[in-house]
């Protein structure tokens, strides 16, 4: 079948994940050959500005020389190893030390996985393990929120608050989804944002009392919900829920897979929203997208309790073959340095107001109901009627149309529900940002003219 095109071969032999199949049948796949800075190129020679940083993660662009050199040097030095049986690579040792140093914790411990999903899954297993070791094996329930995205493994998909997981018969029992703290969409008639936040907090406490605090293992939250539609918390949300969790001894786990390492304008999303979690889940930006890696970073209390539990049972029977891979760790060490010390975090801070202002201008469009986000993560939500926040008919697939029109114009952005997501790489220059604004604005006007 050598006469097939790249796109036809992609169709013939691959199963697409998270892909709107009618769109692909209609338009064909895009087969990407390489990237330069924030741009990718396909087999047809077309060039696209990737305003989604790959999948949020390629924050230093697609060909960062320092990161590539770090990978090549480590492959030459020691090309692969695990972290079992009391052995681990020197790079793994260095990265754990670094992660604790840059974390909001005074002390802590790090455990490695190959993805964000596995890191959440691992965190849940750690909590089940340590609660059981502390004589509370019934503390197994996990609290998350509707619209949260925590991954795709059976446990992390159960934590995810999206209806699409029902096709798998998920969530598993014991995974409880609280309301989504999105004031614009879920605030009630006449309710202020403060009242809305108080209602979210009251729901949390009522749920804890109903379920029984001693049946709950933890509460997981993304500082800003990412794949759920870029939803920042309502005003004062974490200040309202954190004390309730503390009162009932329920650990607060910050899923920083998207927010971590600069996306919200600080190293961590919990800094931006001013709360102290008990543990952090990191992935995506951790290696600037150059290596599959996730981590659980335990703060002092959970680190001590986990260590005590392991001492009791003598082993934590968990780990992935490629956990703490030396090449991944070397890349992560370099990526942290590049983001924090080579101007990337600075770019985000300097240009985030410009990004927000440009998008705010585009959001004047009467068919944009809300512009929301922080730092370098934003969403524009399309509405049929701005005053009533009425969405477009689902059958119009408005956000897919917008994203497809952008793709035709050489801009990659992502449809999510009725929103379009922009989360550009941290290396984006001002002219590249203007290119993004221009193409997005044009695409929105074209699509809204078609569906109006
Ligand atoms: C992407 C994501 C995950 C899952 O990470 P994978 O590496 O895709 O498994 C988990 N949590 C959040 C907040 C994410 O954005």
Q: Are 298 and 109 in contact (CB under 8 A)?
A: yes
Domain end (from 278, 309, 341): 341
Number of domains comprising the chain? 2
Strands laid side by side in the 216-221 sheet: 109-113, 294-298, 279-282, 252-255, 216-221, 141-145, 175-178
Reported as a single tens digit per residue, the pLDDT across 275-322 is 999 999 999 999 999 999 999 999 999 999 999 999 999 999 999 999
Is residue 7 in a domain? Answer: no
Are 196 and 301 found together in one domain? Answer: yes
Are 241 and 287 found together in one domain? Answer: yes
Are 217 and 268 found together in one domain? Answer: yes
> Within 6 Å (CB) of ligand 1, which residues are found?
115-117, 120, 149-151, 222, 226-227, 255, 257-258, 283-284, 294
Nearest alpha-carbon partner for 285 in 306, 301, 314, 264: 264
Is residue 43 in a domain? Answer: yes
Q: How many angstroms does the Cα of residue 319 sit away from the middle of ligand 1? A: 18
| Segment 78-96 mean pLDDT | 97
Q: How many angstroms does the Cα of residue 268 sit away from the middle of ligand 1? A: 15
Q: How many angstroms does the Cα of residue 311 sit away from the middle of ligand 1? A: 30
Q: How many angstroms does the Cα of residue 75 sit away from the middle of ligand 1? A: 26
DSSP state of 164: G
Residue nearest to atom 5 of ligand 1 (CA): 116
Q: How does residue 150 score in pLDDT terms, banded at 50, 70 and 90?
A: very high
Reported as a single tens digit per residue, the pLDDT across 371-402 is 999 999 999 999 999 999 999 999 999 999 99
Q: What percent of the chain has pLDDT over 70?
A: 100
Q: How many angstroms does the Cα of residue 162 sit away from the middle of ligand 1? A: 14
* DSSP H/E element including 110: strand 109-113
Are 331 and 403 found together in one domain? Answer: no
Q: How does residue 24 score in pLDDT terms, banded at 50, 70 and 90?
A: confident
Phi, psi of 402 (to 5 degrees): -65, -50
Reported as a single tens digit per residue, the pLDDT across 341-365 is 999 999 999 999 999 999 999 999 9
Reported as a single tens digit per residue, the pLDDT across 99-114 is 999 999 999 999 999 9
CB-count burial class (<10 Å; 0-12, 13-18, 19+) for 37: middle
Q: Spell out the residues 6+ positions from residue 343 whose beta carbon is closer than 8 angstroms to its own.
A: none
d(CA 92, CA 72): 17
Are 235 and 334 found together in one domain? Answer: yes
Report the nearest atom of ligand 1 relative to the CA of 118. 9
Is residue 278 in a domain? Answer: yes
DSSP state of 396: G
Provide the 10 A C-beta neighbour count for residue 34. 10
| Segment 213-217 mean pLDDT | 98
| Segment 59-82 mean pLDDT | 98
Are 75 and 192 found together in one domain? Answer: yes
Are 367 and 299 found together in one domain? Answer: no
Q: Cα angle at 254 between 243 and 420, to 5 degrees?
A: 115
The CATH number of the domain holding residue 351 is: 3.90.1150.10
Report the nearest atom of ligand 1 relative to the CA of 225. 13
Nearest alpha-carbon partner for 419 in 452, 376, 372: 372
Nearest alpha-carbon partner for 99 in 285, 258, 229: 285
How much is the pLDDT for 2?
Answer: 65
- What does the mean pLDDT of the chain come to? 97
Are 406 and 271 found together in one domain? Answer: no
Is residue 13 in a domain? Answer: no
Residue 1: pLDDT above 70? Answer: no
Question: What's the count of helices (H) and strands (E) in the chain, helices before strands?
Answer: 16, 15
Q: How many angstroms does the Cα of residue 71 sit away from the middle of ligand 1? A: 23
Q: Cα angle at 209 between 203 and 211, to 5 degrees?
A: 100
* DSSP H/E element including 42: strand 39-42
- Residue 380, CA distances (Å) to 229, 359, 365, 417, 428 in order: 9, 8, 10, 11, 19
Q: How many angstroms does the Cα of residue 116 sit away from the middle of ligand 1? A: 4
Are 171 and 40 found together in one domain? Answer: no
Are 103 and 140 found together in one domain? Answer: yes
How much is the pLDDT for 307?
Answer: 97
Q: How does residue 419 score in pLDDT terms, banded at 50, 70 and 90?
A: very high
| Ligand 1, pocket-test mutation among 284, 286, 292, 320, most atoms within 8 A of CB | 284
Q: Spell out the residues 6+ positions from residue 143 whose beta carbon is closer than 8 angstroms to its own.
A: 176, 178, 204, 207, 208, 216, 218, 219, 220, 250
Report the nearest atom of ligand 1 relative to the CA of 255. 13
How much is the pLDDT for 147?
Answer: 97
Domain end (from 341, 367, 391): 341
Alpha-carbon dihedral of residues 400, 406, 408, 411, nearest 10 degrees?
Answer: -130
Q: Spell out the residues 6+ positions from residue 413 whose beta carbon is closer than 8 angstroms to its own.
A: 51, 52, 402, 403, 406, 420, 421, 422, 440
Is residue 12 in a domain? Answer: no
Domain end (from 341, 362, 379): 341
Q: Are 57 and 288 in contact (CB under 8 A)?
A: yes
Report the nearest atom of ligand 1 relative to the CA of 227. 15
| Ligand 1, pocket-test mutation among 18, 258, 295, most atoms within 8 A of CB | 258
Residue 411: pLDDT above 90? Answer: yes
Is residue 40 in a domain? Answer: yes
d(CA 452, CA 448): 6
* DSSP H/E element including 70: helix 65-77
| Ligand 1, pocket-test mutation among 17, 122, 147, 149, most atoms within 8 A of CB | 149
State how beta strands 294-298 and 109-113 pair. Answer: antiparallel
Token pair belonging to 206: 């009522």
How much is the pLDDT for 452?
Answer: 81
State how beta strands 377-382 and 419-422 pair. Answer: antiparallel
Residue 155: pLDDT above 80? Answer: yes
Is residue 273 in a domain? Answer: yes
Q: Print the domain residue range for 358.
A: 31-63+343-451
Reported as a single tens digit per residue, the pLDDT across 179-202 is 999 999 999 999 999 999 999 999
Phi, psi of 404 (to 5 degrees): -65, -40
Are 177 and 296 found together in one domain? Answer: yes
Residue with tokens 């607060």: 252
Is residue 2 in a domain? Answer: no
Residue 57: pLDDT above 80? Answer: yes
3-state SS, residue 109: strand
Are 37 and 105 found together in one domain? Answer: no
Residue 116: pLDDT above 60? Answer: yes
| Ligand 1, pocket-test mutation among 18, 58, 114, 115, most atoms within 8 A of CB | 115
């Amino acid at each position: 079948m050598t006469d097939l095109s790249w796109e036809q071969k992609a169709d013939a032999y691959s199963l697409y994940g998270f892909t709107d199949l009618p769109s692909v049948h209609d338009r064909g796949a895009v087969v990407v050959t390489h990237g330069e800075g924030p741009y990718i190129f396909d087999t047809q020679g077309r060039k696209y500005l990737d305003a989604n940083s790959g999948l949020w993660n390629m924050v230093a662009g697609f060909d960062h020389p320092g990161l590539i050199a770090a990978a090549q040097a480590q492959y030459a030095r020691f090309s692969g190893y695990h972290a079992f049986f009391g052995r681990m690579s020197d790079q793994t040792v260095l990265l754990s030390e670094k992660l604790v140093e840059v974390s909001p914790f005074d002390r802590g411990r790090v455990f490695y996985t190959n993805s964000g999903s596995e890191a959440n899954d691992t965190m849940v297993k750690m909590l089940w393990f340590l609660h059981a070791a502390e004589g509370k094996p019934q503390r197994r329930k996990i609290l998350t929120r509707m619209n949260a995205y925590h991954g795709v493994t059976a446990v992390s998909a159960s934590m995810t608050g999206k209806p699409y997981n029902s096709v798998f018969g998920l969530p598993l029992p014991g995974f409880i989804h609280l309301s989504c703290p999105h004031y614009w969409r879920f605030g009630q008639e006449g309710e202020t944002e403060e009242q809305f936040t108080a209602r979210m907090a009251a729901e949390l406490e009522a749920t804890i009392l109903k379920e029984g605090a001693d049946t709950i293992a933890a509460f997981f939250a993304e500082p800003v919900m990412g794949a759920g539609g870029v939803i920042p918390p309502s005003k004062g949300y974490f200040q309202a829920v954190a004390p309730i969790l503390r009162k009932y001894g329920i650990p607060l786990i910050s899923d920083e897979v998207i927010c971590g390492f600069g996306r919200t304008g600080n190293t961590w999303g919990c800094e931006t929203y001013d709360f102290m979690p008990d543990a952090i889940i990191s992935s995506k930006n951790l290696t600037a997208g150059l290596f599959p890696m996730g981590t659980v970073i335990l703060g002092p209390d959970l680190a001590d309790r986990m260590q005590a539990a392991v001492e009791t049972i003598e082993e934590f029977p968990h780990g992935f073959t490629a956990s703490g891979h030396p090449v991944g760790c070397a890349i992560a060490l370099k990526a942290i340095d590049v983001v924090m010390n080579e101007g990337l975090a600075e770019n985000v801070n300097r240009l985030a107001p410009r990004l927000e202002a440009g998008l705010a201008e585009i959001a004047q469009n009467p068919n944009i109901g809300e512009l929301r986000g922080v730092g370098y993560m934003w969403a524009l939500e399309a509405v049929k009627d701005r005053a009533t926040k009425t969405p477009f008919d689902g059958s119009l697939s408005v956000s897919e149309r917008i994203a497809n029109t952008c793709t035709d114009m050489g801009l990659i952005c992502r449809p999510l529900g009725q929103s379009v997501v922009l989360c550009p790489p941290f290396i984006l220059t001002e002219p590249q940002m203007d290119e993004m604004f221009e193409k997005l604005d044009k695409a929105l006007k074209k699509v809204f003219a078609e569906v109006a």
